[in-house]
Structure 1
Amino acid sequence: MKILVVCGSGLGSSFMLELNVKKATKELGIDAEVTHTDLTTAKSEPADYYIGSGDIMDQLAGDSRKTISLKNMFSMDELKEALQANILDA
């Protein structure tokens, strides 16, 4: 499974969130390749799930993309709950 972490410029916040997603998927037993990118690239890059802030995910929604929106991108609890609900319990 491929998870793509997305932010506006694909630099700082998406990289930090990528590290948290890798940690959370490991703790939850989810086997996933996790990378990060900017919004423009994400629109043409295939992935099983796209994760980011709500405003960024709104721009990716549709076209059968599975998006996971976070209110607080740095909350491990919110991230784990979102992964659980969207991947493990789906």
Structure 2
Amino acid sequence: MLVLTRRIGERVLIGDDIELTIVEIKGDSVRLGIQAPRETRIQRAEIVAAVESENRAAVQSPAATQDALQRALNGRRDPAAPAD
């Protein structure tokens, strides 16, 4: 891991098309400005980890939960079906 020291307003260039700017330093928090191509996905690591964790939990849900969900879905009326 490369560790750099930067001051407010200073920039870090990543490759040819990504630029990080130190916008604000307040206590132990740093605000970054990120300029990158639109197609570059930028995400906070803790959000990605939380989504991955929730996805794993959903895949491993017990069969009873899946059965209850299926019963609930089967019990729903089709809004396009003719009324009785």
Both proteins in one fold, TM over 0.5: no
Q: Which structure has the bigger radius of gyration?
A: 2
Q: Which has the higher contact order (CA 8 A, sep 6+)?
A: 1
TM-score normalized with structure 1 length: 0.21
